[in-house]
Amino acid sequence: MAKSISQKAGMAFGELVYVGEGSTKPVELDLTVYNEDEFAEYKNTSLRFIQDQIKNGRKYWINVRGIHDVGVISEIARMFSFHSLLTEDLLNTEHQPKFEDHNKHLFFTLKYLHGLEPGNDLNMEHTAVVLGENSVISFQESYQTLFNKISERLSIKGRKIRTRSPDFLFFAIIDLIVDHYYFIYDLLDKEQDEIEDRGFDPPHSAILTKINENKKRLTAFRRQLAPLKDAVIKLQNVDSELVDERHEKYLNDTIDHVKDLYGRVEWLREMNVSFREAFLSAQNDKMNRVMQLLTIIATIFIPLTFIAGIYGMNFENMPELKWEYGYPLAWTIMIALAVAMILYFKRHKWF
* One domain, residues 329 and 180: no
Q: Say yes or no to pLDDT of 53 above 60.
A: yes
Q: Say yes or no to pLDDT of 324 above 50.
A: yes
* One domain, residues 168 and 237: yes
Give per-residue pLDDT as tens, 228-258.
999 999 998 888 899 988 888 888 889 999 9
Of the three residues 235, 255, 282, the one that is the final residue of a domain is 282
* One domain, residues 106 and 207: yes
Residue 1 pLDDT level (bands cut at 50, 70, 90): very low
Amino acid at 45: T
Decide: residue 221, CB within 10 A, 0-12 exposed, 13-18 middle, 19+ buried: buried
* One domain, residues 206 and 318: no
**Distance, CA of 249 to CA of 254 (rounded, Å):** 9
Per DSSP, what are the bridge partners of residue 109? Answer: 98, 128
Better-predicted residue by pLDDT, 192 or 58: 192
Taking all residues of the chain, what is their mean pLDDT, rounded to a whole number? 86
CB contact at 8 A, 19 and 89: no
Percent of the chain at pLDDT > 90 equals: 44
Q: Say yes or no to pLDDT of 10 above 60.
A: no
* One domain, residues 191 and 330: no
> Who contacts 34 (Cβ-Cβ below 8 Å, separation ≥6)?
40, 58, 59, 60, 61, 154, 162
Domain residues for the domain of 314 are 283-347
Q: Say yes or no to pLDDT of 311 above 80.
A: no
240: domain CATH number is 3.30.460.20
* One domain, residues 274 and 289: no
* One domain, residues 304 and 198: no
> Who contacts 169 (Cβ-Cβ below 8 Å, separation ≥6)?
61, 136, 150, 154, 161
Of the three residues 264, 282, 300, the one that is the final residue of a domain is 282
Q: Which of 59-68, 181-190, 249-258, 280-289 shows the lowest mean pLDDT across its residues?
A: 280-289
> Who contacts 45 (Cβ-Cβ below 8 Å, separation ≥6)?
29, 30, 31
Rounded alpha-carbon distances, angstroms, from residue 279 to 4, 202, 265:
37, 9, 21
Q: What is the pLDDT of residue 55?
A: 72
Residue 174 pLDDT level (bands cut at 50, 70, 90): very high
Closest CA to 221 of 175, 173, 189: 189
* One domain, residues 217 and 144: yes
**Distance, CA of 45 to CA of 61 (rounded, Å):** 13
Q: What is the pLDDT of residue 7?
A: 57
* One domain, residues 333 and 237: no
Q: What is the pLDDT of residue 81?
A: 92
* One domain, residues 122 and 87: yes
Q: Which of 32-36, 197-201, 206-210, 224-228 shows the lowest mean pLDDT across its residues?
A: 197-201
- The verdict on whether omega for the bond into residue 202 sits within 30 degrees of 0, i.e. cis, is yes
For 110, other C-beta atoms within 10 Å of its C-beta total: 28
Q: Which of 13-17, 39-43, 275-279, 346-350 shows the lowest mean pLDDT across its residues?
A: 13-17
* One domain, residues 159 and 116: yes
**Domains of the chain: total:** 2
- What's the whole-number mean pLDDT along residues 180-207? 82
* One domain, residues 278 and 315: no
**Distance, CA of 131 to CA of 136 (rounded, Å):** 5
Q: Which of 87-96, 274-283, 331-340 shows the lowest mean pLDDT across its residues?
A: 274-283
327: domain CATH number is 1.20.58.340
- What's the whole-number mean pLDDT along residues 277-289? 81
Of the three residues 251, 282, 313, the one that is the final residue of a domain is 282
**Distance, CA of 18 to CA of 92 (rounded, Å):** 6
Q: Say yes or no to pLDDT of 201 above 90.
A: no
